Structure 1
Amino acid sequence: PLPWTGDTPPFGFSTTVSATPWLPQPDDWKFYTAEANQADRTSMLQLYRSALRLRRTNPGLRSEDFHWLDSPPGSLLFERGNGLLCAVNLTDQPIPLPEAASPLITSAPLGRDGLLPRDTTVLLHRD
């Protein structure tokens, strides 16, 4: 169940407050409800909304063209459509970003050092 509203379980997932959700919902999920994340520009909700807007406006994200690219150990790099790159850093250290590419959306802020921070994903467009 997704946490929608409120600050106690079942967080708007059920219209009956006394109903027991089929999956447990920890009390700290109150920080992750859609309602609580509505105004937070850095929330996962806003990241997904931005990604969906980008998908609607960028035909390359709907393309079936896909291929893997070489990347540093502990990372993934692939290309979709016409020059859209996705880089995923699964390591605990920053890694170099692909050259001559501009970020379209990131899961966390990028540093000015040209490196992709740890545990971060970025969608880029080749310049």
Structure 2
Amino acid sequence: MLDVPSETAGKLELCLNEVLANLIDHAGAGPSSPPVQLSLELADCGDRALATLTICDAGEAFDPLSVSHGPLPRSLQEAEPGGLGLLLVRRFMDELGYERADGRNVLRMGVYWPKDP
């Protein structure tokens, strides 16, 4: 059994919250929308482990990985509204992938952590 460290779980939680907030704000996801599907897979990769979170939604086609960003602001006070969430996702996740499949957006986010010896 793989134990997910609290720091890794926190990264996954923050990134999931950011992606779901974007779905609500920009894709019109709401109570009458088709359900968003979530899955979490844990994989043993030798001396490290991988948690992969997959988010599938039926909103309009949108590849969040195609959005270009400038550098991170030095402080939250300097940050412009919007766009910071995807920057955080890119910073915290080790693997990111997007595809449009069967009329749904499929976003995969993966993060590694070292396993205990």
TM range (shorter): under 0.3
Scaled by the length of structure 1, the TM-score of the pair is: 0.24
Q: Which has the higher helix share?
A: 2
Scaled by the length of structure 2, the TM-score of the pair is: 0.25
Q: Which has the higher strand share?
A: 2
